[in-house]
Amino acid sequence: MTAPGGTAARIPARGPWRDDPYATALHAGQGPLFLRRTDGRLMPLEVERWLADADAGDESVLARCRGAVLDVGCGPGRLVAALAERGHRALGVDVSPAAVTSTVRRGGTALCRSVFGPLPGEGRWTTVLLIDGNIGIGGDPVALLDRAAELLAPGGRVIAEAAPVEVDERCEVRLDDGRGTLGVPFPWARVGPESLSRHAGRAGLTPLHRWTLAGRTFTELAGAPAPAAAGGTAATRA
């Protein structure tokens, strides 16, 4: 197909994260892959890192995971697989069938679901992960963090990765393989560490710890506290 002027037309795929450049990159095992904003700016996606084993930044997250762990936007499953190896009950959810297939092949458990739809174990997850830019899912960080809080067990934690620079923006993006193929538009968000803490507060989550490792910044957020047990101690529901 040729566009006016003789240049190749960009042919949208059928749906975001499905039969699109993301699925193609996962099958190929490499990028390039970008999120393309409506203003033409490209945000690189780290396909090769997602397909590799957990790195130092990931290990710092894994070390803070407790109990049953839900990985929202699990991608090809490196964290879910690593958690399973450590004996956690771990579930990945992702809207990409290719990502779910990859997670299962790596020995993890995953479902092809949206975080905003019904999920197993709602209100019983000890740890919810929002890593690799997934704070951007849906284009509304407060709504996403509010949903994460709903999924937590009393006394649970959300661990979220922020952008490496301070930013707070909403945008429409498309997946772009850098070779002329675009996916369909969808909403996205980027938030830096301070913005993440601010949005978490609006969602009823309390920032506990922030750390930076290998150029990546993470924040641990506390959900509603566990109810006091008989004798005044806190009961933690796994």
pLDDT, tens digit, for every residue of 187-229? 999 999 999 999 999 999 999 999 999 999 999 999 999 887 5
User: Which amino acid does the sequence have at 124?
Assistant: R
Model confidence over 124-183: pLDDT tens digits? 999 999 999 999 999 999 999 999 999 999 999 999 999 999 999 999 999 999 998 999
Reference 61, options 222, 199, 213; nearest CA is: 213
Structure-token match 């067990």, residue found: 153
Using a 10 angstrom Cβ sphere, with 0-12 exposed, 13-18 middle and 19 or more buried, the burial of residue 27 is exposed
- Report all structural domains of the chain as residue ranges with CATH numbers, in order of start: 55-174+188-222 (3.40.50.150)
Q: Reply yes or no: is the peptide bond before residue 76 cis, omega within 30 of 0.
A: no
Model confidence over 9-63: pLDDT tens digits? 333 345 666 658 999 999 999 999 999 999 999 999 999 999 999 999 999 999 9
**Angstrom distance (rounded) from CA 163 to CA 180:** 27
Tokens of 216: 């990546």
User: Which amino acid does the sequence have at 93?
Assistant: V
Cβ count near 225 (within 10 Å): 12
Helix (H, G, I), strand (E, B) or coil at 55: coil
